[in-house]
Amino acid sequence: MKDSWAPRLENAEGPKYKAIADAIARDIANATLPEGTRLPPQRILAWKLGVTIGTITRAYQEAERRELVSGEVGRGTFVLRADQRLSTRNAPIQAIKGDWWSQESAPPGDDLDDIDALVDASVSIPPPGLQEASLRAGFEALSQKANYRGLLSYRPEGVEERAREAAVQWFARRDVHVDPDDVMLVAGAHFGLFAALSSITRQGGRIATERLCYSRLKNLAQMLGFALVPIDMDDDGVKPDHLDHILKTQSIDAVILVPTLQNPTTITSSMERRVAIAGVLERHGTPLIEDDIYGLLPENAPPPISTLIPDLSILVTSISKTVGAGFRVGYLVSGAQFRDRLRQTIRTSILMVSPLNLEIASEWIFDGTAERILLDTRSRMKERRAILEAELPDAEYDMDEGALHAWLHLPDPWRSSQFVAAAKERDISLTPAHAFTLDRSETPFAVRLCVGFPRTAERLRHGLRILGPLLKEGPADNSLV
């Protein structure tokens, strides 16, 4: 093992991880790193070079992409033989793997102290704020409870009951007033959607949804075996007249909508539009699955459509976008006709939500911690929005109040996939429009730009200062447009 190997970076230009990958290539060529040599562990090389482990991870990944080295689980990273390099030319790129718990195996993106690290603007979650300190305090308080060991058992006494009471309080903030016994606990809103869809749809059935929709809904449709039918949209959400036409002319099992901060457009439908949609659904007797995961981010969003047709709806929410994505705690309420099937689906699929997560989430709702985190998130997102407006003053984008991302419209001749690829070359990760479209011929010239996920405001500002000139620059090869 060449633990002593370390490149000289004093005069290197560009990102450090690329300079390290160039040094690996150079030293392989001059036999300083012979075939079969094991490169230094990432921690050791990071310490020697005075960079973060994330930078070394990305350097080794880049060297593997160039077919210079190969990472082997539990053994390390090795220089490939010449014949191995040729044999892997068409192989898919694999990230360097490590033990699940090691820092080396963590994603390399968004290191706080590394200007060369990836600016990840592809994940729609709030910026960090009060969560970490609150979690520490929450664990300390939990350890003082006499019955905390019971949280390791199946359905510890009182935990689910408290969680339902907390859910009632959380729903009430959205003008949704329910009985605790009617609340179902789910492992996040995504699982809540899975439970709702698998409970009320048929194999081979059809679900109507926004023409631009939550990207993972397409994965659920494929897994559960139903088709997605696109509903036309305008600046106020789905069009009631087109929804009415679909329900008249097609056999539709249910409609699934995100009326508040719709993903990806960020549209929050007006109360007038919600009333119109509810009227169409009620007239046809078609169930509504409503995803209200972003409902509390705007300060004054209209109440969910489900409040207008409670007997015909399934309302799903969670604390992922407001309090903490990793909790995987969500809440679901529905009309009486759906409850037995939903409860059976939840019991059969996950049995229960983690009692530990439920207990902390419930305590945070009861003691006001969740409220403080929500208000802090709103404040931080106003700051992030101001940075976006300052750094991209000429850009066109949609970003309704409270949104965690912007729907960035691309100037001609940019196309979505081109722009995402060009941004990635500059170490910025975005989500292309086709991830959200149901009809390939209708893909808009836009990308989703998440301004909440970069871990600091400065990292966001750094990324936007790269994207601004790129928007004006245009693709390198216009013949591909």
Which structural domain range is residue 395 located in?
A: 120-130+371-480
88 plus 219 within the same structural domain? no
Rg of the Cα trace of the chain? 25
Residue 465, Cβ density class (10 Å: 0-12 exposed, 13-18 middle, ≥19 buried): exposed
Q: Are residues 135 and 125 in the same domain?
A: no
Same domain, 94 and 155: no
Contact present, 302 and 277 (Cβ < 8 Å):
no
Instruction: Indicate if 316 and 202 belong to the same structural domain.
Output: yes
Work out the number of other CB atoms within 10 angstroms of the CB of residue 75: 9
Return the bridge partners of 69, or none: 79
- Establish if 95 belongs to a structural domain: yes
Task: Report the C-alpha gap between 332 and 326 in whole angstroms.
Answer: 18
Q: What CATH code is carried by the domain that includes residue 233? A: 3.40.640.10
Q: How far is CA 301 from CA 203, 323, 421, in A?
A: 35, 18, 35
Whether residues 433 and 396 share a domain: the answer is yes
Tokens 């490590």 -> residue: 98
Instruction: Yes or no: say if 317 and 308 are a contact pair by the CB < 8 Å rule.
Output: no
CA distance 219 to 223: 6
Torsion of CA 322, 324, 330, 333, to 10 degrees: -10
Total structural domains within the chain? 3
100 in a structural domain = yes
What contacts 190, CB < 8 A, 6 or more positions away?
A: 216
Is residue 340 within 8 A of residue 173, CB to CB? The reply is no
Report how far apart, in Å, the C-alpha atoms of 376 and of each of 107, 297, 361, 363, 446 are.
26, 11, 17, 18, 29
Helices (H), 302-441: 336-349, 355-367, 369-391, 416-425
Residues 21 and 60 in one domain: yes
Asked whether residue 464 is assigned to any structural domain, the reply reads yes
In a domain, 115, yes or no: no
Q: Can you give the pLDDT at residue 83? A: 63
The single-letter code of the amino acid at 478 is N
In a domain, 7, yes or no: no
Does some domain include residue 114? no
Give one DSSP letter per residue of 145-177, joined into a string.
STTGGGGGSSS-TTHHHHHHHHHHHHHHTTT--
Taking the chain (481 residues) in runs of 10, the rounded mean pLDDT of each run is: 73 81 88 89 87 84 86 79 54 35 39 61 87 77 66 77 93 93 93 92 91 91 91 96 97 96 96 98 97 94 96 95 87 95 92 88 90 92 95 95 96 93 92 88 88 88 93 72 41
Residues 451, 435: Cα–Cα separation, whole Å: 18
What's the pLDDT score for residue 57?
Answer: 84
Cα–Cα distances (Å) from 239 to 39, 230, 231, 243, 301, in that order, read 58, 11, 7, 6, 19
CATH code: domain of residue 467: 3.90.1150.10
pLDDT at 421: 93
- C-alpha count within 13 angstroms, C-beta hemisphere, residue 358: 27
Q: Count CB atoms within 10 A of the CB of residue 217.
A: 22
In order of 160, 176, 318, 324, 352, the CA distances from 184 in angstroms are 10, 14, 11, 19, 10
User: How far is 204 from 81, CA to CA, in rounded Å?
Assistant: 50
Identify any residues that bridge with 399 across adjacent strands, giving them in sequence order: none
**Residue 209 token pair:** 């949804």
Task: Tell which of 108, 142, 163 closes a domain.
Answer: 108
Please check whether residue 9 lies inside any domain of the structure: no
- What pLDDT, on a 0 to 100 scale, did the predictor assign at position 51? 85
Phi, psi of 191 (to 5 degrees): -65, -35
Q: What share of the chain is helix, strand, coil (3-state, %, to 5)?
A: 45, 15, 40
Q: Give yes or no: residues 103 and 146 share one domain.
A: no
The domain boundary residue, chosen from 337, 352, 369:
369
Do residues 382 and 354 share a domain?
Answer: no
Report which residue type is found at 154.
Answer: Y
User: Is residue 307 domain-shared with residue 338, that is, in the same domain?
Assistant: yes
**Same structural domain for residues 358 and 376?**
no
Residues 6+ apart with CB under 8 A from 333: 171, 176, 178, 182, 183, 184, 306, 314, 315
Q: Who's near 105: CB < 8 A, 6+ residues apart?
A: 96, 97, 98, 99
- Please tell me whether residues 177 and 300 are part of one structural domain: yes
Residues 31 and 64 in one domain: yes
Q: Report the CATH number that the domain containing residue 88 is assigned in CATH.
A: 1.10.10.10
Q: Domain boundary at 315, 344, 369, which?
A: 369
In a domain, 4, yes or no: no
